[in-house]
Structure 1
Amino acid sequence: MRKFLTLGLTAVLTVGTAAAVSTSAYAAPQLEFGACPQDVAQVYPGLKCATVNVPLDYSRPFGARMNVLVSRHASTNPAKRRGVLFVNPGGPSGSAVMQAGKLSHPNTTGYTRLPKEVLEAYDIIGVDSRGTGHSEPLSCVGEDYWRQLQPDPDLPEERDKSWERWKAFARSCAEKNGDKLKHIGSRNVIRDMDHVRTLLGEERISYLGYSYGTYLGSAYAELYPGRVDRMILDSSMNPVEPQMWYHNSTGQVTAGVARERDYLNWIARYDTVFHLGKTYEQVNAAWQKMLGDFRKQPRGPLKNVGAVELMDVYIANLSHELYWEPLAKAMADYVLRGDERAVLDWATPAGGAAGESFIAGMISIACIDSDAPADRTKIERDFSELAKTSDFAWYNVSIPSACANWPAGHDQRVVPSGRNLPPILMFGTDGDSATPYVNTVAMHKQLPSSVLVTERGSGTHCVFGSNTAMVNWEAQRIGKEYLVDGVLPNGDIDIAPHPLPVPTAGTAAAARPAVLSVHA
């Protein structure tokens, strides 16, 4: 039996230079930080921002150019500053600019996702990937494209419509963005990051990446191994799989079966709160009733909330527990009281420019970064097989459908070898349904200098720097000691899981939080 981590299972490792030696600067900084865009500043007033002009095509540095936005949360104690910590939330179109704020901004209790010692030791740097966020975001279709009722590929008679819709989306991406689309992939994002490093006057960077951000970090380390100080990769992609995004889509379905069972069992455990049943089978029957009703008859004033829209928000919330309670209460409102208002509040697609550009960036990066099957028959055969054991297999066919029809080609993806790298810290959970644990193991195998910390018995996506509702204090300690002092566990270890939420009694469903404004 593997033991949980104790304070004795650590060793001090040399990471780049000794921990006491500053790596802060080898040249004068060339970036001037000022006010951030209004939407950033309103949420994270502690951030400062700068715009960096970069080549669209690095092989033609004097050709067309584009702007990327950089945010910074400055070290809270300059006397203890040791360098810069680049952060990326994944997505792949999540905003790193906003992530720098999320990790450093205190909540109402004073808790910050990054421990205060880390915020003293580093400037936290976020670089929005080109084509996303505030870095000239892509647009592929109209703002209302995702407000419309989506075809339901779980129904055989709807699969032609679903395929043609994603085919039209891919074609429109190429038509609207032209040559720019070819240069949106991760290889160029990595070059942008290194250009920002130069402008910051830093010889090396430390890095914290989540989900897709783990691939970005490992690829940066492959291209620039001598420029890596300390690196944390949390909940990893499989970096060696040629069809990386296709296999992540299919892998999510397999891993999601167990995670869905965990959620429905959790609802059953608190039948005194939700009243949806005391067993998995009873709660699942309630869920299936609601899903079936929305499949038969789309709901909402615009009749644009059907099975796809409902499943969309359901799957998104399986990967963490932050909104398990209000989503279960919304289900109870509908099933027990016939009140669909809360469900519609959660599942009605937001649409709009922000949502459209988020999806455009996500799909574009995924399709550019890795090869994908072009054979519709193979894709449908694979997802039909997955659907034998999963309720939501067909709802993961979006990226495969778009990439199968992608007209802009694929970039030469960077595959990390793990050579010449300093010690790296990795986190993962064995029940992760967003980036399945087998991917984390594959990344760990590819990076011989890495140490893997596994939160056993957990299905939460991402471990270090979590919301207070899901925080694992042992992970916080391990991550802090590594980033600040260069201390790593003495080999791969398991840690105990964080506790699941305990719901409160009440019949009213909570409304969808404002943060869930984009359904992808």
Structure 2
Amino acid sequence: MSNAHRRGRAHRRWYALTAAVCATAVALPLYAAQGQEESSTLTWQQCKGHSDAQCATLTLPIDRSSPWKTFGMKVARRKATNPSKRIGVLLINPGGPGGSGVNMALNSKFPAELRERFDIVGFDPRGTGQSHPLTCSTKLINKAPQELPRNQAEFEQLASYNRTLRQDCRKHSGPLFDHADTLNVVRDMDALRAALGEKKINFFGHSYGTLIGQQYAQKYGRHVRSMVLDSNMDHSLGTTKLATTAAAAVDDSLTAFSQWCSATSTCALHGQDALGRWDRLLAAANRGALYDSGTPISADGLISHAYDSFSGPEWPAFATWLKSLRTGTPHRQADPPRTGSASGTEPHVRPAVFCQDWQARVRNYQDLQALVRAEKAAAPHARTSPEMREAILGCVGWPEKANNPQRPLHIAPGAPTILLTNARHDPATGHAWARNVHRQAPHRTRLLTYEGSGHGAVGATPCTINAMQQYLLHLTLPPKANCPAADIN
């Protein structure tokens, strides 16, 4: 698995209600000199560069058993444009882990009626963005093992590297590193609710942000007025089921892409067996015989390109790229160049959050082989989910006990019916996860399926946008369980 792939996951596209989230992770200076306003424990000031937004810092305990150790959680707010019709606050989270709720609030374009009726409030979860970001040595991050372990010795090398990286991150990040799990984020979010002076909140969470929403509803259900969870995580799954269902979601997207090519004359592979071509290209990549304009393409690189293309979805460009690939003489699998001489630190939040939220621990090479075989059985064409495999491999060598291990969803009394949305063909958070979340709380959730593709249902079509708005504004659940797919051109 390449360094570019590992590090690229931390900067994935951030999603918003109209797919217009700012995709940059550059931190904005929070304060300007004027526009100050007091609100409980939050001191609001105009956000620099955003005349219609206010920013603040909420001081919170790192560990609630030692409340004197604190950090500052960054918050951004765009107040309701029609105060006379204001319903309340809409808290938002774009997922990741690592996505900035502050940037989402400042740079996203929300439907006008939601902007009229809600204060849009984004926050950077602990360890993320401008909320005491978890950082690690760039030099050490760049030394990440490049390939899947091929024997027990290489497995032990991976475990040793992960332990070294974890200690390095703990050194640079301080005590917050050990308390980066989502349950702590949920407690922070309820403290934000109280600081905002709200009895109840509304919440929109996307992707990993759905885990924040689910666990908030479990712990603080009576504090929820409405909640939309788009592209759902399933926190009930053990390691093998998590890996196999994630791989199956990529395989499903690959099949959907192939069917689109067969039915669409503008697809570059129309009239061909697109799935068969994929299988042949993947076999060539495994032999070291696949090239893109003379540049070798590994199997990991091919699968990762597909995964990213399906998340859009960006099917036409992906079909054109697949058609351009060529096979040739196998090349020697040389080690890729290292950039380990880089100095300094950089944000690196994902392993800390995932490995504290999931008891996903592969103990030895034999267990890893069994997991890879199970992935291939579940996904005979795609073979794996590159993002999920990376996440699980990143926990090899970590302490056995996770802070926030998997458990079924049990929504607390007093919570409203939660609206779950998911694309039918989502490579990152497969529809099977949303169905299983709904099965765990069938009378407390409503599942709306977008019959199209991509990582994100809300914002995909007027149908999904309207369903979300009607629910948030009027608590009216969608009368139908499905929204039709949009055309892909």
**Could you say what secondary structure the match of 2:136 adopts?**
coil
* Aligned residue in 2 for 1:443: 437
Residue 427 of structure 1 aligns to a residue in which SS?
strand
Cα–Cα, structure 1 residues 363 and 57, in superposed 2: closer, same or farther, change >3 Å?
same
Asked if 1 retains the 8 angstrom alpha-carbon contact of 2:226 and 2:472, the reply is yes
**Structure 1 residue aligned with 2:382:** 391
Match of 1:22 in 2: none
CA separation of 1:331 and 1:227: change in aligned 2, threshold 3 A: same
Correspondences of 1:19-30 after superposition (within 5 Å): 28-30=39-41
Match of 1:99 among 99, 104, 113: 104
Q: Answer yes or no: is 1:372 the counterpart of 2:383.
A: no
* Residue 315 of structure 2 corresponds to residue 324 of structure 1: yes
Matched, 1:462 2:456: yes
Q: Please, what is the CA RMSD of the aligned residues?
A: 3.6
**1:52 corresponding residue in structure 2:** 58
Matched residue type, 1:329: T
Q: Which of these residues, 275, 284, 302, is aligned with residue 278 of structure 2?
A: 284
Tell me which of 160, 164, 175 is aligned to 1:171. 164
- Alignment match, 1:313: 305
Tell me, yes or no, if the aligned pair for 2:293 and 2:325 is still in contact at 8 Å: no
1:249 matched residue in structure 2 = 243
Q: Report the Cα offset of residue 273 of structure 1.
A: 5.5
Distance change (3 Å), C-alpha of 1:291 and 1:97: farther
The gaps in structure 2 that reach 5 residues or longer are: 1-37, 328-338
Question: Does 2:453 match 1:474?
Answer: no
More divergent stretch after superposition (279-288 vs 446-455): 279-288
- Paired residue type of 1:475: T
Change (3 A) 1:193 1:279: same
2-side partners of 1:286 and 1:271: how far apart?
22
> Measured at CA, do residues 445 and 385 of structure 1 come closer, stay the same or move farther in structure 2, by a change above 3 Å?
closer
Please give the secondary structure, in 2, of the residue aligned with 1:371: coil
CA distance in 2, matches of 1:298, 1:167: 33
2:485 to 470, 475, 498: 498
Pairwise CA distance, 1:87: 0.9
Q: Which amino acid aligns with 1:58?
A: R
Q: Which amino acid aligns with 1:455?
A: Y
SS at match of 2:134: coil
Q: How many pairs does the alignment contain?
A: 432
What letter matches 1:151 in structure 2? Q
Q: TM-score, normalised by structure 2?
A: 0.77
Which AA in structure 2 matches 1:362?
A: R
* 1:266–1:430 CA distance, 2 compared to 1 (3 A): closer
Distance in 1 between residues matched to 2:384 and 2:161, nearest whole Å: 22
1:452 paired residue among 447, 452, 462: 447
- SS of residue paired to 1:442: helix
The residue type equivalent to 2:98 in the other structure is S
Structure 1 letter corresponding to 2:318: L
Counterpart in 2 of 1:82?
87
Bigger mean CA deviation after superposition, 180-189 or 432-441: 432-441
Q: Which amino acid aligns with 1:248?
A: L
Of residues 386, 389, 401 in structure 1, which corresponds to 2:393? 401
Between the aligned partners of 1:74 and 1:419, the Cα distance in structure 2 is 29
Q: CA deviation at 1:297?
A: 7.8
SS in 1 for 2:129: coil
In structure 2, the partner of 1:33 is 44
- Partners of 1:129 and 1:200 in 2: CA distance: 16
Q: Is the 8 A contact 1:167 1:402 kept in 2?
A: no
Matches within 5 A, 1:104-119: 105=109, 114-119=110-115
Residue 68 of structure 1 pairs with residue 73 of structure 2: yes
Q: Deviations over 1:361-415 (max 9, x none)?
A: 1221110012123422223202123224143327442222222311384114576
Partner amino acid for 1:368?
Answer: Q
| C-alpha distance in structure 2 between counterparts of 1:391 and 1:92, whole Å | 24
Q: Would the aligned equivalents of 1:264 and 1:284 in 2 still touch at CA under 8 Å?
A: no
> Partner amino acid for 1:453?
L
Q: Greater strand percent: which structure?
A: 2
- C-alpha distance in 2 between matches for 1:140 and 1:173: 8
Question: Which segment drifts farther, 383-392 or 250-259?
Answer: 383-392
CA distance in 2, matches of 1:50, 1:327: 42
* Cα shift readout 1:237-282 (whole Å, capped 9, x = no counterpart): 22333x3x66433311012212112223434545655257533245
Task: Please give the alpha-carbon distance, in whole angstroms, between the structure 1 residues aligned to 2:293 and 2:345.
Answer: 19
The whole-number CA distance in structure 2 between the counterparts of 1:398 and 1:499 is: 31
Report the identity percentage: 24
CA separation of 1:35 and 1:143: change in aligned 2, threshold 3 A = farther
SS in 2 for 1:87: strand
Structure 1 residue runs of 5 or longer lacking an equivalent are: 1-26, 106-113, 337-348, 503-520
**Residue 219, structure 1, aligned to residue 215, structure 2:** yes
**Following the alignment from structure 1 to structure 2, what is the Cα–Cα distance between the partners of residues 441 and 354?**
44
Q: Distance in 1 between matches of 2:385 and 2:457?
A: 28
Residues of 1 paired with 2:280 and 2:53: CA distance?
A: 45
* 2:290–2:325 contact (8 Å) kept in structure 1: no
